[in-house]
């Protein structure tokens, strides 16, 4: 009598995307809840909070002409606080994606060895990683893109109408209103997968992915102002530096046309500054900056660079997977290979 050994199920192979969604359903639910809650906060800002703050500012401005009066200070402060928290929450999305991708999406499966089970059920390592990157990329892109759109609409509703509203070039607002957070979230996904493969440990991958995403975020802030030609505004010593926008560099112009930065004298009326100007033979100020018309060129150019970085991180992840498994070249030959993995 011959004993029959049951074969392992092969469900993950033909339905890999569905299998991944079931496997990471808790993360999908948490991510959906995050988008819903933050989206609701942005809609609240866009509607009632903006209306209340605009009304309160009108009351406050009327006080300057009518004398002592009352205005709704609470509405102004509430809009300001919720705006700040919502903006920081949106900018945290790439870090949350990177941490999850490193710790749970890849690192935990390698640490626990469950990935070997998938590889023995008709799923090649290359296809496994392609699906791991392609399937989450869809909700990450859609969710982050929706939040960015709501943030931009909300900011536009209060621009020029609320005294405490942030300028378009102001710190966090500049990035939260554009395409950079969406692409940076995809870069975080690739970074998490790469660190998960490199370390094979969920906690180490989490920390490494956060660190690498932080470096990408810092590099983005340093590089973005230089990825598009600036506008130069020249002004007299009496007028001081002029030009409103995303500043890149400003300083003194000498009679010979030389530039001197970091001089510390924007107010030429003080004796100390006048003496400095005489010593340097300064004749005016220069200011290199980006006006508001440069906003989308800067965002799109930076996003294109980040997409290139994301592609490099993805290629690196497939190279590391190849070394881990000893298989053939693991980079998909075309986008069709990634789409096939998600079917």
Instruction: Please say whether the dihedral angle defined by the alpha carbons of residues 163, 144, 189 and 202, taken in this order, is positive or negative.
Output: positive
CB 226 within 8 Å of CB 197: no
User: Is 246 within 8 Å of 299 (Cβ atoms)?
Assistant: no
Decide: helix, strand or coil at residue 338. helix
Radius of gyration, CA atoms only, the chain: 27
**Mean pLDDT, residues 298-310 taken together:** 97
Question: To the nearest whole number, what is the mean pLDDT of the chain?
Answer: 87
The pTM for the full model equals 0.86
Cβ-count burial 255-290 (b if 16+ within 10 Å, e if not): eeeeeeeeeebeebeeeebeebbeebebebbbbbbb
Contacts of range 233-237, beta carbons closer than 8 Å, 24 or more positions apart: 233/286, 233/287, 233/289, 234/284, 234/285, 234/286, 234/287, 235/284, 235/285, 235/287, 236/284, 236/285, 237/268, 237/277, 237/282, 237/283, 237/284, 237/285
pLDDT tens digits along 108-131: 888 888 787 777 777 788 989 999
The residue out of 258, 275, 290 marking a domain boundary is: 290
- According to the model, what pLDDT value does residue 209 have? 96
Number of domains in the chain: 2
Domain check: are 154 and 282 in the same one? no
Rounded to an integer, the average pLDDT of 34-62 is: 94
| Domain limits for position 279 | 246-290
Residue 16 has pLDDT above 70, yes or no: yes
Whether 2 maps to a domain, the answer reads no
Phi, psi values for residue 232, rounded to 5°: -110, 125
> Phi and psi dihedrals of 197, rounded to 5?
-70, -35
Alpha-carbon dihedral 219, 172, 168, 31, rounded to 10 degrees? 100
Same domain, 198 and 255: no
Same domain assignment for residues 44 and 56: yes
Residue 334 CB-density burial (10 A; 0-12 exposed, 13-18 middle, 19+ buried):
exposed
Same domain, yes or no: 129 and 221 = yes
Angle value at C-alpha 143, between 88 and 294, nearest 5 degrees: 65
pLDDT of residue 67: 65
Are 132 and 148 in a shared domain?
Answer: yes
Residue 172 domain flag: yes
Same structural domain for residues 276 and 189? Answer: no
With respect to residue 260, please indicate whether it lies within any of the assigned structural domains: yes
DSSP 224: G
Over residues 133-185, the pLDDT tens digits come to 999 999 999 999 999 999 999 999 999 999 889 999 998 999 999 999 999 99
Is residue 300 situated within a structural domain? yes
pLDDT band, residue 202 (cuts 50/70/90):
very high
Mean pLDDT lowest for which of 35-49, 110-124, 306-320? 110-124
> Domain boundary residue among 275, 290, 305?
290
Residue position matching structure tokens 């004796």 = 271
Is residue 6 a part of any domain in this protein?
no
Distance between CA atoms of 341 and 18, rounded to whole angstroms?
11
Contact criterion met (CB below 8 Å) for 324 and 336: no
- Average pLDDT, integer, range 306-326: 94
- Say if residue 174 is in the same domain as residue 260: no
Q: Is residue 303 located within the same domain as residue 281? A: no
Contact in structure between 9 and 123 (CB atoms under 8 Å)? no
CA-to-CA dists, residue 258 to 171, 240, 282, 323, angstroms: 30, 17, 9, 54
247 to 169, 231, 287, 288, 301: CA distances (angstroms): 9, 10, 8, 6, 18
Q: Are residues 39 and 155 in the same domain?
A: yes
Tell whether 75 is covered by a domain.
yes
Within a domain: residue 238?
no
Percent of all residues in the chain with a pLDDT value above 90, rounded to a whole number: 63
Q: Is residue 305 domain-shared with residue 250, that is, in the same domain?
A: no
Q: Are 285 and 203 found together in one domain?
A: no
Instruction: Report phi then psi at 276, rounded to 5.
Output: -65, -40
The answer to whether residue 309 scores a pLDDT higher than 50 is yes
> How far apart (Å, rounded) are the C-alpha atoms in residues 199 and 203?
9
Asked if the structure places residue 85 within a domain, the reply is yes
Residues 271 and 307 in one domain: no
């Amino acid at each position: 009598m011959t004993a029959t050994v049951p074969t392992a199920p092969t469900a993950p192979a033909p339905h890999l995307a569905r299998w991944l969604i079931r496997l990471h359903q808790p993360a999908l639910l948490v991510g959906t809840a995050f988008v819903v809650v933050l989206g609701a906060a942005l809609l609240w800002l866009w509607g009632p909070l903006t209306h209340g703050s605009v009304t309160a500012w009108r009351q406050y401005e009327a006080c300057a002409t009518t004398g002592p009066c009352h205005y709704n200070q609470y509405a102004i402060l509430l809009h300001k606080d919720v705006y700040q928290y919502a903006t920081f929450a949106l900018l945290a999305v790439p870090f949350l994606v990177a941490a999850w991708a490193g710790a749970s999406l890849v690192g935990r499966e390698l640490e626990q060895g469950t990935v070997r089970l998938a590889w023995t059920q008709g799923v090649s390592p290359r296809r496994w990683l392609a699906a791991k990157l392609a399937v989450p990329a869809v909700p990450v892109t859609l969710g982050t893109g929706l939040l960015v759109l709501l943030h931009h609409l909300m900011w536009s509703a209060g621009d020029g109408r609320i005294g405490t509203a942030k300028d378009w070039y102001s710190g966090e607002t500049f990035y939260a209103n554009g395409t950079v957070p969406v692409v940076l979230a995809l870069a975080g996904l690739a970074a998490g997968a790469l660190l998960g493969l490199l370390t094979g440990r969920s906690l180490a991958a989490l920390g490494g992915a956060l660190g690498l995403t932080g470096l990408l975020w810092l590099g983005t802030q340093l590089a973005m102002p230089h990825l598009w030609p600036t506008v130069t505004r020249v002004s007299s010593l009496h007028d001081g530096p002029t030009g409103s926008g995303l500043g890149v560099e400003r300083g003194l112009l000498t009679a010979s046309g030389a530039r001197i930065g970091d001089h510390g004298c924007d107010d030429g009326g003080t004796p100390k500054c006048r003496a400095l100007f005489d010593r340097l033979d300064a004749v005016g100020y220069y200011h290199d900056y980006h006006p508001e018309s440069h906003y989308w060129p800067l965002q799109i150019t930076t996003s294109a660079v980040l997409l290139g970085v994301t592609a490099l991180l993805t290629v690196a992840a497939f190279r590391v997977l190849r070394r881990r498994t000893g298989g053939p070249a693991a980079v998909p030959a075309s986008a069709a290979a990634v789409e096939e993995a998600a079917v």
